Structures are given as C-alpha cells and as structure tokens.
C-alpha cells in the first residue's frame, strides 16, 4: 500500500431540500470548512475540480464562476461530470494530476442545487441520463430502473421487501445522528413496509430524496501532506469502470458490473481484500442499491447480502459497518456533492472524528459511488 497522495481537508454544507442562497454561496460553505480543516490558504491551492451534473442551474460554466468566487484565480479550474459519481471521479482526476507532477494541491468541490428546478423537471433530467434515443423517450425514471434490479434480485435470490425495509430502518437510525442530513427521523419497519408504492417493489422509504448541497475534498502530495496535517488520510486504491447505458446491453439485473470491476481494481491497487475493510460508504440511492453493493464489493456472496442486514452486520457494531452517517437515504442526494460527502465521512471515521457515528478504531475505509443506473462505478480505498 503506497502512501503517496493524501486527503488533508474535508468539508460539507448541510444537505437541505431548498437552499436559500445561490450556487456560489453553497459551494463556499463546503470550501470554507475544508480549508479550515486543512489550515491552508487559497494561495496553496494549485487547481480546482468542480464536480456536478449539468442542467440544474442556468450557469453555463460553473467551474469558472466558483473559482472566481472562492478567490482561486488564476489557478486552473476544470469541470467534471459523471452524474451521481461526479465528485469521486473528481478525486480520481485530482490523484492523477498530483501523481503526474502537474500540481501539488487540488480541491475537489462537489455541488448541486437541485431545487433550482421542479421535482418533475428533475425526474426528467435524471431520465435523460439514459439513452435519449432508445430509452429516455419512453419515460424511464430512476425508481423504475432500480425496481427492475430489485425484482431481479428477489426472483433469483429470494430477497424480500422486508430485507430492503431493514436497510432503510438502519439508515434512519444513523441519519438521526447526522446534523448535516436532510432526513433526521426514525423509520419503523412497519411504516417502511406500508409506505406508498413508488415503483414495484420499491416504496417511498426505499428511495432517497433530492437535495441541495456541496462537499469539498483537499488532496495533496506526500510532502505537503506531512507539512499540512497530523492526520493525513492516504488514497490507497482507486477503481473505476463503466457499463452499457442501455439496459438491453446489460447481462445481469442482480448486481452492477461497473461496481464489481471497479472494486476489483481498487482492492488490487491497495493490496487489500474485502475482509480488510473496517468501514464503508456505499451508494444507497435506493435500498436495493445498498443490498447489491454488499455483494458487488465482496462483503457477501451473491444472494447473501440479505443475511448481513438481517443479522445487523452492517450496523456500527457489526462485522462491516456501512453508511453509519445515514447514507443517501437519510442525508439526501445532491448529485454532484454525494461522492465528496461519502469521502468526507470515511476520512472522519479514519481520523476518529465521527462523533456519535464513530466506528471503533478503523484503519481502512471504502467508498462506493455510482453514476446513473450503474453507468459509472467508482470505488475508493482510504487508509490512515
């Protein structure tokens, strides 16, 4: 496990349903927290990666806007987009820029203000994340896509609606502890099971909510990391993969191939196995997404992910704590900011700074961030 590039600062705005300010101010909230965390000045930032999904704001070039507002001119600024996995893709690019020697210190700033448009407009934008010739015109929506995977998993492995509801119960129990989460209420199992149907078999509590939010990660090289931080968190492994955008091109509906391939790459780069992971953040946009992540990441064999949630092995005290910050199901899902928020959580866990959400003495953490319905998959392994 080479320790060459590290995260020295993390920040996040509160995730909310309707942020009252503009995207400049939203970005600043996460940036300010990260800079204070790293204890550095704008002069020490060599480049900015602004990560978001397009068409939620009228601003044509948000990277330039944000760089100016944050006082980061004349350093270069880049725009990164892989829909819901944009800011973990940003981390991968930051790693590459620093490893190449082009830059020493880079900020990865994830951002989305989804309330700029209506809920119906947002669903239409998400639907166009699919092929606009062969799928999106027929009204495809994110809940329906993941419902296909839920039905596939249930048919092949006997997974039940209660298994999925148990995932939401867990998420809500930790969302209550997370002051930056949108949803901070408990969810009873019977309420989850009896909630309104969204896309069979997924009900209201099986789905995450849209949100406004920003996240910021400060990444630097080995020499700067030791200068800036007493607790640098090292990037040990990076995996990334894609899958056909069209569902007709997929060969399975019980897991996400892009996640499986990305996980294999990340484990090999870090020189670790699933058994070495002490805490993980997975992309739980829907409860079935978390269930599949258990298996795609190797924490359970195919079809056995349900055992982990039934036996509470993914709770804070379990064998593999997962989403103990509430996950997307409780935090909300501001598309461009989500991956950075997941990374922030793991950084805080590895530093021992996660407060009531803290897992006991973790050394290695994992972040699983998916773009679209398994179009893009990023897996990141971090160590202290």
pLDDT tens digits along 36-62: 999 999 999 999 999 999 888 888 899
CA distance 132 to 118: 20
pLDDT tens digits along 308-338: 999 999 999 999 999 999 999 999 999 999 9
Instruction: Give SS3 for 320.
Output: coil
pLDDT tens digits along 251-281: 999 999 999 999 999 999 999 999 999 999 9
Q: Can you give the pLDDT at residue 234?
A: 98
361-376: average pLDDT: 97
Residue 194 makes CB contacts below 8 A (sequence gap 6+) with none
Give the residue among 145, 187, 194 at the shortest CA–CA distance from 292.
145
Q: Can you give the pLDDT at residue 369?
A: 98
Q: Is the pLDDT of residue 1 over 80?
A: no
Instruction: Give SS3 for 380.
Output: strand
Active site residues: 84, 333
DSSP track, 150-214:
HHHHHHHH---HHHHHHHHHHHHHHHTT-TT-S--S---HHHHHTSPEEETTEEGGGB--B-EEE
Question: Do residues 65 and 253 lie in contact, with contact meaning Cβ atoms separated by under 8 Å?
Answer: no
pLDDT tens digits along 84-142: 999 999 999 999 999 999 999 999 999 999 999 888 888 788 888 888 888 888 888 89
- List, in sequence order, every residue forming a beta bridge with 105; answer none if it has no partner: 220
Q: Can you give the pLDDT at residue 140?
A: 82
* CATH classification for the domain delimited by 137-209+235-383, as one of 3.10.580.10, 3.40.50.720, 3.40.47.10, 2.30.30.180: 3.40.47.10
Q: Is the pLDDT of residue 25 over 90?
A: yes
Q: Can you give the pLDDT at residue 55?
A: 84
CA distance 346 to 47: 23
Peptide bond into 43 cis (omega under 30): no
Strands (E), 85-165: 105-113
Question: Do residues 144 and 197 lie in contact, with contact meaning Cβ atoms separated by under 8 Å?
Answer: no
CA distance 337 to 27: 10
Question: Do residues 12 and 33 lie in contact, with contact meaning Cβ atoms separated by under 8 Å?
Answer: yes
CA distance 377 to 84: 10
CA distance 223 to 352: 23
Mean confidence (pLDDT) of the chain: 96
Q: Can you give the pLDDT at residue 249?
A: 92
Q: Where in the chain is the domain with CATH 3.40.47.10?
A: 5-118+211-233, 137-209+235-383
Q: Can you give the pLDDT at residue 366?
A: 99
Instruction: Give SS3 for 384.
Output: coil
What fold is seen in the domain 5-118+211-233? Peroxisomal Thiolase; Chain A, domain 1 (3.40.47)
DSSP single-letter state for residue 138: G
Instruction: Give SS3 for 371.
Output: strand
* Residue with the two structure tokens 């996040």: 12
Helix crossing, 119-127 with 142-157: angle to 10°?
Answer: 60
Of the listed ranges 1-5, 244-248, 331-335, the least confidently predicted one is 1-5
């Amino acid at each position: 496990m080479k320790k060459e590039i590290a995260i020295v600062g993390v920040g996040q705005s509160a995730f909310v349903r309707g942020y009252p300010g503009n995207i400049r101010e939203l970005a600043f909230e996460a940036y300010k927290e990260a800079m204070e965390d790293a204890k550095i000045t704008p002069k020490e930032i060599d480049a900015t990666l602004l990560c978001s999904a397009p068409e939620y704001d009228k601003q044509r070039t948000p990277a330039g806007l944000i760089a100016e507002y944050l006082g980061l001119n004349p350093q270069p600024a880049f725009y990164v987009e892989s829909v819901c996995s944009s800011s973990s893709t940003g981390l991968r690019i930051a790693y590459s820029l620093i490893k190449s020697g082009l830059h020493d210190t880079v900020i990865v700033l994830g951002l989305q203000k989804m309330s700029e448009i209506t809920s119906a407009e947002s669903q239409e934008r998400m639907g166009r994340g699919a092929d606009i010739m062969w799928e999106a015109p027929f009204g495809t929506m994110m809940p329906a896509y993941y419902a296909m995977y839920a039905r596939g998993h249930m048919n092949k492995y006997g997974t039940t609606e209660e298994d999925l509801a148990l995932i939401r119960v867990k998420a809500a129990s930790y969302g209550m502890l997370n002051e930056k989460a949108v949803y901070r209420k408990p969810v009873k199992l019977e309420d989850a099971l009896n909630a309104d149907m969204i896309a069979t078999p997924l009900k209201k509590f099986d789905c995450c909510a849209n949100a406004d939010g920003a996240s910021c990660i400060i990444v630097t090289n080995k020499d700067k990391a030791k200068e800036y931080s007493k607790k640098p968190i090292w990037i040990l492994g990076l995996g990334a993969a894609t899958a056909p955008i069209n569902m007709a091109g997929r060969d399975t509906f019980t897991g996400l191939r892009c996640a499986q391939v990305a996980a294999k790459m990340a484990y090999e780069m870090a020189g670790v196995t699933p058994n070495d992971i002490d805490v993980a953040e997975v992309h739980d946009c829907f409860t079935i997404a978390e269930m599949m992540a258990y298996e795609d990441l190797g924490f359970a064999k195919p079809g056995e992910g349900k055992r982990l949630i039934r036996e509470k092995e993914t709770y804070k005290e379990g064998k593999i704590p997962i989403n103990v910050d509430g996950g997307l199901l409780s935090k909300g899902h501001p598309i461009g900011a989500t991956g950075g928020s997941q990374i922030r959580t793991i950084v805080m866990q590895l530093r021992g700074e996660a407060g009531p959400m803290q897992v006991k003495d973790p050394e290695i953490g994992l972040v699983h961030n998916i773009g679209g319905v398994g179009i893009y998959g990023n897996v990141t392994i971090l160590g202290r």
